[in-house]
């Protein structure tokens, strides 16, 4: 996928695929190494391949990643702005963003000619798999045994990458606040892995020893039963670009607690989720409310399932294909228009003074 492997003739699998498929449209979901494919395609460096429409799909915000992992200083943001305006945005004929939250980053960085060529197209969820999960009694019993739970236990679930940008530092103080009361026994199940795993485990053991369980990576087909075995889904990232895991939780009928910001607002709202401020106490209070008001919780769960069904993959992929069709037709129109000869200036238009045909 590095530029030198696909820019020049050679043993490039990417070049072979493109030559064999001869696509009408190519989507690139990368901000660094594959963006130069647009130049290869426009210059027709792959023999026999007509220039396709080239679409940039973005599923994350580079500004957030920059602030989290490199620097939040003015120099870093100046370089980021230059890169996005000069190197990334102009390379595509059209742009797609997975949420309005992502589009808000890209929109002011687009050159004038592309301002009307940005569309928002959300991701989706395997609704049927999560809404029709198999009986999870055995899975729940196993989780309770492993985390030291009992009949009063409320299982909180986090599923996702264990990394800095996910705001995982909120989980230990959240669990500590919930542990301070005695009506329920709150335990936290964590699915996933990443560079923050050790730090998170140490913090949880320091504040609430023995009340969390790390399951590591899970196979996709194992997740529906796991969701069905839990009681509340916690999603702490206030700047989530889109968030498929919260949508899976909504499909599974699992109450969702998330910050009232970011890409989750594409589908989460006060009628189908518990949207809160980005503080441990706000999260803890939302969990307490879920446990204290089961009728309200059930109402929101039903709303959440109806919402999640609207984001089922068959509907989402159909939406993508419709957008691709629109992009391709627009690109064809533009290409044909540019290929037509320019009209003659008025001074060069022949004049018929004799009344006959010219």
203 and 282 share a domain? yes
Tens-digit pLDDT profile for residues 45-84: 999 999 999 999 999 999 888 888 888 888 888 999 899 9
Give the per-residue pLDDT at 351: 39
Give the per-residue pLDDT at 27: 97
143 and 287 share a domain? yes
Per-residue pLDDT at 151 exceeds 60? yes
* Coil, helix or strand at residue 156: strand
pTM: 0.89
169 and 300 share a domain? yes
80 and 186 share a domain? no
Give the per-residue pLDDT at 356: 32
* Beta strand ranges found along the chain (DSSP E): 25-28, 53-58, 94-97, 118-120, 153-159, 185-191, 212-216, 232-234, 256-259, 274-276
Q: Is residue 348 part of a domain?
A: no
Q: What is the mean pLDDT of residues 128-139?
A: 91
- List, in order, residues 6 or more apart from 187 with CB less than 8 Å away: 144, 147, 148, 149, 153, 154, 155, 156, 211, 212, 213
- Domains of the chain: total: 2
Across the chain, mean pLDDT equals 91
146 and 261 share a domain? yes
* Coil, helix or strand at residue 190: strand
142 and 212 share a domain? yes
- State which residues form the domain around 105: 3-124+313-336
């Amino acid at each position: 996928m590095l530029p030198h492997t696909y820019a020049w003739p050679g043993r490039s699998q990417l070049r072979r695929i493109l030559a064999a498929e001869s696509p009408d449209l190519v989507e690139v979901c990368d901000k660094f190494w594959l963006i130069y494919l647009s130049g290869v395609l426009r210059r027709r460096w792959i023999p026999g391949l007509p220039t396709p429409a080239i679409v940039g799909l973005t599923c994350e915000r580079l500004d957030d990643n920059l602030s989290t992992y490199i620097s939040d200083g003015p120099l870093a943001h100046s370089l980021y702005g230059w890169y996005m305006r000069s190197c990334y945005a102009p390379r595509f004929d059209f742009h797609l963003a997975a949420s309005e939250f992502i589009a808000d980053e890209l929109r002011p960085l687009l050159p004038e000619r592309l301002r009307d060529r940005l569309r928002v197209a959300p991701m989706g969820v395997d609704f049927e798999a999560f809404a029709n999960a198999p009986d999870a009694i055995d899975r729940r019993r196993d989780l309770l045994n492993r985390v030291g739970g009992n009949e009063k236990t409320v299982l909180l679930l986090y599923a996702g990458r264990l990394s800095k940008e996910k705001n995982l530092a909120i989980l230990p103080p959240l669990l500590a606040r919930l542990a301070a009361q005695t009506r329920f026994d709150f335990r936290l199940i964590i699915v996933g892995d990443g560079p923050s795993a050790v730090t998170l485990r140490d913090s949880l053991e320091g504040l609430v020893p023995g009340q969390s369980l790390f399951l590591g990576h899970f196979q996709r087909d194992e997740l529906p039963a796991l969701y069905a075995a839990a009681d509340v889904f916690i999603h702490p990232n206030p700047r989530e670009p889109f968030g498929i895991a919260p949508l899976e939780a909504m499909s599974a009928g699992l109450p969702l607690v998330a910050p009232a910001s970011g890409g989750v607002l594409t589908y989460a709202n006060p009628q189908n989720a518990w949207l809160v401020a980005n503080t441990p106490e706000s999260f803890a209070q939302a969990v307490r409310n879920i446990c204290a008001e089961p009728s309200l919780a059930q109402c929101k769960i039903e709303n959440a399932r109806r919402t999640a069904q609207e984001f089922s993959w068959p509907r989402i992929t159909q939406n993508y294909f419709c957008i691709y069709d629109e992009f391709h037709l627009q690109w064809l129109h533009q290409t044909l228009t540019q290929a037509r000869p320019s009209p003659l200036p008025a001074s060069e238009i022949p004049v018929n003074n004799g009344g006959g045909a010219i």
